[in-house]
Structure 1
Amino acid sequence: MAITSANQLELLQTAEAVAREKMIDPGLVIEAMEESLARAAKSRYGSEMDIRVHIDRKTGRATFTRVRTVVEEEELENYQAEFTADQAEDYFEQPKPGSVWMRDGEEVTEFAGKPQVGDTFEEIVPPVEMGRIAAQSAKQVILQKVREAERDKQYEDFKDRAGTIINAQVKREEYGNVIVDVGTGEAILRRNEKIGRESYRPNDRIRCYIKDVRREQRGPQIFLSRTDPQFMAELFKMEVPEIYEGIIEIKAVARDPGSRAKIAVISYDNSIDPVGACVGMRGSRVQAVVNELQGEKIDIIPWNEDMPTFLVNALQPAEVSKVVFDEDAERIEVVVPEEQLSLAIGRRGQNVRLASQLTGLDIDILTEEEESKRRQAEFEVRTKLFMETLDLDEFFAQLLVSEGFTTLEEVAYVEVDELLVIDGVDEATAGELQARARDVIDAQNAKALENARELGVEDSLLAFEGLTPQMIEALAKDGVKTLEDFATCADWELAGGWTVVDGERSKDDGSLEPFDITLEEAQDMIMTARVMLGWVDPDELLSSDEDDDADVEEEQEA
């Protein structure tokens, strides 16, 4: 095939037809044609030559151009496509018909000195005759470019649609995964994203949630889901106008796909009940969602800022007697009547598991009897502590515990008036109690310091303000023996914390965790140690704190 005037317009017509069929820009098809013709020309003139082709967008005329670039002498490698500035002068002084010099995209008609590195010399070469192999190769290039353009368009169409629902048509099933037609391409619904044991036949219409859109080497991959919690949230948004309009907000969703789900909602209009609006007249709204989710039972729960109250709602239909919330550990303890235990836990732990997902907390469920036994055990431990350390009889020790005293420090340093409220305690008795408690604490401190020194703790750490002897002993047992060691610690290494690995929360024990040190207190102590060592400039630290305060004020004003 020769690129002659007979088939010049055919190029444009072909480009238009392909672009219309594939719904892509005709310019992309012409660029693919230009590249395919350039490849064919290289096979004729030599692969080392830089041959470029330009097709006129109006006439279809194809112009073949050989390009040479000026490079530094030491960088000259390809003599067919590159030359030095000295060699380039000859071409400029004796130009060939149809040749041009280009610099920064503009034609150069006169040099002030020699040609510069980066200048290009372009000369027109005769069109090539394309044989069968070259034509086949050109066809492959065009098809490849068209496929890439299709993929780019598909990615652009769907990249902003992640997080929405799409209606698709089933094309086929491969190894349990469902391949669906989404109009401009295909998407995949993996078998672990299907509800239960759903099965589909070709041409079935299904509704899916676009979970992710990724650009991969084999083209954009659109991943769908019917098990994602947000799929249910989006279904409610479609069924409940108040959610779509923002009057009601879905705060949290937890699902056991195909079986049961919990959804927490809040209304920003006091006249609208969020639960009733989501249920609808005679349950019509929630039933539409249930039908789409293959009969999945849905508990609609009013959301509450108070976490214990929210949890009580989340554990419905079980009744809760008592809630104990540990905010630092993000754990919550729930006490229920004996007859409510199985209902609170649910079948195979389903109810408490969904409530945990909904609140983001670890939940421990106890019966009233179990909680009573535990409280009794704690009472006995504290009673024994006071009996042994303060030399008290059992009755008097129980009185102290009943009044809320849990440690020796509380007895030793509390206001005397708080001891006088105990029956039978006068000022003399209160003074004696506090003296005994302080003596025991002093003895424990002395023993802890002795143990710390035996473990090799240096004076720099012993003198650090804010650390008790027991804390220093605990640090020494964990290998922290100098102020430098202390300054290199992370806050969680002192105060403890939680780590999430593969969705499972694991506890990180801190050296000073038994002393109820918070993360903020640990951060302050570590930073103080770094300032003392000269690792941190206190002025810069103060400036940073002021900036943080200013940011907080701006956020509050906004």
Structure 2
Amino acid sequence: MAITSANQLELLQTAEAVAREKMIDPGLVVEAMEESLARAAKSRYGADMDIRVSIDRKTGRATFTRVRTVVPDDELENYQAELTVEQAKQYLENPQIGDEIKDEVPPVELGRIAAQSAKQVILQKVREAERDRQYDEFKDRVGTIINGVVKREEYGNVIVDIGRGEGILRRNEKIGRETYRPNDRIRCYIKDVRREVRGPQVFLSRTAPEFMAELFKMEVPEIYDGIIEIKAVARDPGSRAKIAVISYDSSIDPVGACVGMRGSRVQAVVNELQGEKIDIIPWNDDQPTFLVNALQPAEVSKVVLDEDAGKIEVVVPDEQLSLAIGRRGQNVRLASQLTGLDIDILTEAEESERRQAEFAERTKLFMDSLDLDEFFAQLLVSEGFTNLEEVAYVDVDELLVIDGVDEETATELQARARDVLEEANRSALAHARELGVEDSLVDFEGLTPQMIEALAEDGVKSLEDFATCADWELAGGWTTVNGERVKDDGVLEKFDVSLEEAQNLVMTARIQLGWVDPADLASDEEETEVEEESEA
């Protein structure tokens, strides 16, 4: 095959046909042809030569050009593709480093091997262009639903024809009892698109919570229009799901809109998810209220929220316990996923037992510490007193409301409580000093003797040691490890020191030591306020 003898327009016609078939830019195919012809020319004229080919986009004429670059004398290495300034003067009047001298050379005759090589180059370039096009097309569709046709199944994974490419529905992304045969139509959620050596990989899912949210968006016009928003979704794929919705139009009921007339809208989603039962729950910014909704159909008697720990205790009637927990813990697990809280469920009987145990424990504390009889100690607990500090430093009037307590009795109670606390403080401080606590920590305002003792037992014995502590090391906190919340115990956690209080204590210590300039803190706070105002 020789370029000179071939129909020159045939090159352009071939490029157009390939580009149309693969749905890529014809210019990319022509560039691949130019590169393949240049390689063939190098095999004819010599691999050291810099041969370039240009195909005219209108006529299809291929021009072969030899290019030589002007380089400094000491850098001349390739005599076929480079020449010195002195040598270049034969071709240019005033040659400069980097100038190129181009000479047209005769077109080459493509033998069978050269033609095959050229074909491979073109195919490779076309394949790369096709992969780039597929990636660019699908990467912007991540987070949407796509319809496809099942092509085959490999090791439990389903390969899906999604139009201009293939997607893979992994075994763990299929709803449990689903089976597919070739040519079955399938609807999936595009979870991820990645570039890989073998081309772009489109990963599909039918178990993702977002899949159900997108299905509702398709079935409920109010969600698509933004009048109703899906705030949270939790799924046990193929079995049960909970979805929380809120309406920004007071005239529209979000739950009713999602259910539809005679359940038509929700039923369409249920059918797509192979009969998965769906609880539609009204969203509420108040977490306890939202949790009560999330635990439907179970009834809730009481909710106790611990925001710092991200935990919540739910008390339900004894006969509602199994309903609240659900089959194999499904109901409470989905409610936990929906709210983002760890949920402990107690029956009313269990909560009553716990309250009785706490009552007995506090009664014993007052009996032993204040030398009171059981009846009087129970009166204190009944009035809401939980520790000696409350008794010692509360306003006397709050003690006088207790039956049988006059001013003299109240004063005596407070005196006893203060004596016990002062003795405990002396003992704690003495123990801390035995452990080697320095005066700098003892004199630091904001720490009680018991706190100083706890710090000393943990190895914090000076103000410098204290200033290096992180707030969570003092107040405790929670860390998410492998999707599970893990408790981090704080040194001062048992003294009810909050994270904010721990931050303030540590920062005060750093300022006293001169590690932090208060002026810098003030400027940082001003910048934060300005940023918040601008965002608002």
TM superposition score normalised by structure 2: 0.95
Which whole-Å CA distance do the structure 1 matches of 2:233 and 2:11 have between them?
Answer: 55
- AA aligned to 1:115 is Q
1:191 alignment partner in structure 2: 171
| Partner Cα separation in structure 1 for residue 74 and residue 354 of structure 2 | 84
Q: 1:482 to 1:57 in 2, by over 3 A?
A: farther
Q: Deviations over 1:272-306 (max 9, x none)?
A: 21111111111111111111110111111111111
Q: Is the 8 A contact 1:399 1:422 kept in 2?
A: yes
Q: 1:337 maps to which residue?
A: 317
Give the match for residue 34 of structure 2.
34
CA contact (8 A) 1:249 1:266 kept: yes
1:55 aligns with 2:55: yes
1-structure distance, mates of 2:262, 2:459? 66
Superposed counterparts of 1:321-336, under 5 Å: 321-336=301-316
- The question of 1:269 aligning with 2:249 is answered yes
Report the 3-state secondary structure (helix = DSSP H, G, I; strand = E; otherwise coil) of the residue aligned with 2:195. Answer: strand
Deviation at 1:110, TM superposition (A): 6.2
Query: Could you tell me how far 1:75 is from its partner in structure 2?
Result: 6.3
> CA shift at 1:379, angstroms?
1.0
Partner of 1:101: none
**Correspondence for 1:115:** 96
Match of 2:349 among 369, 377, 380: 369
Task: Give the aligned partner of residue 553 of structure 1.
Answer: 533
The answer to whether the aligner puts 1:6 opposite 2:6 as a matched pair is: yes
Structure 1 residue 473: Cα displacement: 1.8
Q: 5+ residue gaps in structure 1?
A: 96-108
1:467 aligns to 2:463 (yes or no): no
1:159-558 to structure 2, matched below 5 A, reads 159-556=139-536
Counterpart of 1:145 in structure 2 is 125
SS in 2 for 1:170: strand
CA, structure 1 residues 389+242, in 2 after alignment: closer, same or farther (shift >3 Å)?
Answer: same
How big is each residue's C-alpha offset from its partner over 1:116-173, in whole Å with a ceiling of 9 and x where there is no partner?
Answer: 4x54444434333322222222211111111111111111111111111111111111
SS at match of 1:15: helix
Q: In 1, distance between residues paired with 2:70 and 2:265?
A: 72
- For residue 7 of structure 1, report the CA deviation from its aligned partner: 3.7
In structure 1, the partner of 2:113 is 133
* Greater mean alpha carbon deviation, residues 139-148 or residues 338-347: 139-148
2:75 is equivalent to residue 94 of structure 1: no
What SS class does the counterpart of residue 216 from structure 1 fall into? coil
Alpha carbons of 1:524 and 1:66: their partners in 2 closer, same or farther (altered >3 Å)? farther
Contact 2:242/2:278 (<8 A) preserved: yes
CA distance, structure 1, for counterparts of residue 359 and residue 81 of structure 2: 91
Which sits farther off after the overlay, 538-547 or 426-435? Answer: 426-435
Partner secondary structure for residue 41 of structure 1: helix
> What per-residue deviation string (whole Å, max 9, x for no partner) do you get for residues 205-238 of structure 1?
1111111112222221111111111111111111
Return the alpha-carbon distance in structure 2 between the equivalents of residues 75 and 521 of structure 1: 69
Q: AA paired with 1:521?
A: E
Separation of aligned partners in 2, 1:482 and 1:79: 76
- Specify whether residues 344 and 54 from structure 1 end up closer, same or farther in structure 2 by C-alpha distance, changes over 3 A only: same
The structural deviation recorded for 1:78 is: 5.1
Q: Give the TM-score normalised by structure 1.
A: 0.92
More divergent stretch after superposition (70-79 vs 537-546) = 70-79
CA shift, 1:542, in A, is 1.0
Give the distance between the partners of 1:338 and 1:325, measured in 2 at CA. Answer: 20
CA separation of 1:346/1:66 partners in 2, compared to 1, >3 Å: closer, same or farther? Answer: same
Render the CA deviation track for 1:464-512: whole Å, top value 9, x for unaligned. Answer: 2222222222222222223232222222111111111221111111111
Task: Say if 1:146 and 1:429 are closer, same or farther in 2 by CA, change over 3 A.
Answer: same
- In the alignment of these two chains, the number of paired residues is 536
Q: What is the CA–CA distance in structure 1 between the aligned matches of 2:8 and 2:302, rounded to whole Å?
A: 84
Taking structure 1 as reference, are residues 115 and 301 closer, same or farther at Cα in structure 2, changes over 3 Å only?
same
* One-letter identity of the residue aligned with 2:64: F
Residue 158 (str. 1) matches residue 154 (str. 2): no
Report how far residue 74 of structure 1 moved. Answer: 7.0
My pick for the range that moved more, 521-530 or 499-508, is 521-530
Q: Which deviates more, 453-462 or 19-28?
A: 453-462
Q: In structure 1, what is the Cα distance between the partners aligned to 2:452 and 2:68?
A: 75
- 2: distance between equivalents of 1:76 and 1:144? 34
438-447 vs 372-381, greater mean Cα deviation: 438-447
CA contact (8 A) 2:454 2:492 kept: yes
Distance 1:295 1:52 in 2: 63
- What amino acid is aligned across from residue 33 of structure 1 in structure 2? M
Q: Deviations over 1:358-399 (max 9, x none)?
A: 111100000000000011111111111122222222112111
Matched position secondary structure for 1:372: helix
Asked if 2 retains the 8 angstrom alpha-carbon contact of 1:5 and 1:61, the reply is no
Using the alignment, how far apart are the partners of 1:395 and 1:302 within structure 2? 48
> Contact conserved, 1:486 with 1:526, CA < 8 A, in 2?
yes
Please give the alpha-carbon distance, in whole angstroms, between the structure 2 residues aligned to 1:449 and 1:50. Answer: 86
Matched residue SS, 1:65: strand
Give the whole-Å Cα distance in 2 for the aligned partners of 1:415 and 1:48: 99
Query: Which residue type is aligned with residue 344 of structure 2?
Result: D
Deviation at 1:26, TM superposition (A): 0.3
Tell me, which stretches of 5 or more residues in structure 2 are unaligned? none
Q: CA deviation at 1:346?
A: 0.5
Aligned-residue offset at 1:3: 2.5
Comparing 402-411 with 127-136, greater Cα deviation is found at: 127-136
Give the direction of change, closer, same or farther, for the CA distance of 1:45–1:490 in structure 2 (3 Å limit). Answer: farther
- Per-residue CA deviations over 1:428-451 (Å, capped at 9, x if unaligned) read 222222222222222222222222
Deviation of the 1:459 alpha carbon: 2.6
**1:2 CA drift (Å):** 2.6
Contact 1:89 1:115 in 2 (8 A): no
Q: What letter is aligned with 1:44?
A: R
